[in-house]
Amino acid sequence: MASSSAGFVAGLTAAAVVTVGFLTYQASANIPAALVGKSRANTSATAAAKAPRDKKNPTALPGSSGTGERVVYSVDDDRVWLVSATGRVERTFKVTPGSVDPLPGTYAVTSRSKAVTGTDGTPIEHVVRFTSVGGVVIGFSAAVNGTTTTPDSTVKTGGIRESRRDGDAMWVFATIGQKIVVIR
């Protein structure tokens, strides 16, 4: 009986070591470049960050912004594109970013809330979250009062504000797991 107990404990220990190793790897793979101090020049996120623009049509979907059904968000242009599975732009609109920007890369919608209060105290609706930066949750939302004013820069906010009409469209389009591509 003692040898079977020892084998059981050894098995549990091995499983724990594997789990800790996996979680350590996963955590290290998701450290923002700013915290690591290394350039991400060779990552696909950077390739997406340099998406070319159509100078004659600034609202056109930037090249190299991914494939398939997705939400494309340009932090430099403060613009969103809702793109169908065939690559057709279903809708594009301007947004007002929070004080904390997401890093360029590909994400997925992780959670949604019909109505909550934003970090800045504003009642918001149709919240679509997809990442966090330094503990600040990043997501799209619309203020219930319809405002899209620039947030107070002294408060760390990750809310990317849309008009209520655009928020309605995002809510329908960006369900849990929907791909979000962030570009510069």
Residues 6 or more apart whose Cβ sits within 8 Å of residue 122: 143, 144, 145, 147
- Which residue would you say has higher pLDDT here, 55 or 171? 171
- Which residue would you say has higher pLDDT here, 23 or 138? 138
Average pLDDT for residues 22-50, to the nearest whole number?
39
Q: What pLDDT does residue 1 have?
A: 53
CATH of 51-183, one of 1.10.3720.10, 2.60.40.10, 3.30.420.40, 2.40.440.10: 2.40.440.10
- In which band, very low, low, confident or very high, does the pLDDT at 174 lie, cut at 50, 70 and 90? very high
Residues above pLDDT 90, as percent of the chain: 58
Dump pLDDT digits (tens) for 104-133.
999 999 999 999 998 888 899 999 999 999
DSSP secondary structure of 138-163: EEEEEETT---PPPPTTS---EEEE-
Please tell me the distance from the alpha carbon of residue 46 to that of residue 63, in angstroms, as a whole number: 13
Q: What pLDDT does residue 55 have?
A: 73
- In which band, very low, low, confident or very high, does the pLDDT at 160 lie, cut at 50, 70 and 90? very high
Dump pLDDT digits (tens) for 40-87.
333 344 444 456 677 778 789 998 899 999 999 999 999 999 999 999
- Break the chain into its structural domains and give their ranges: 2-30, 51-183
The single-letter code of the amino acid at 141 is: S
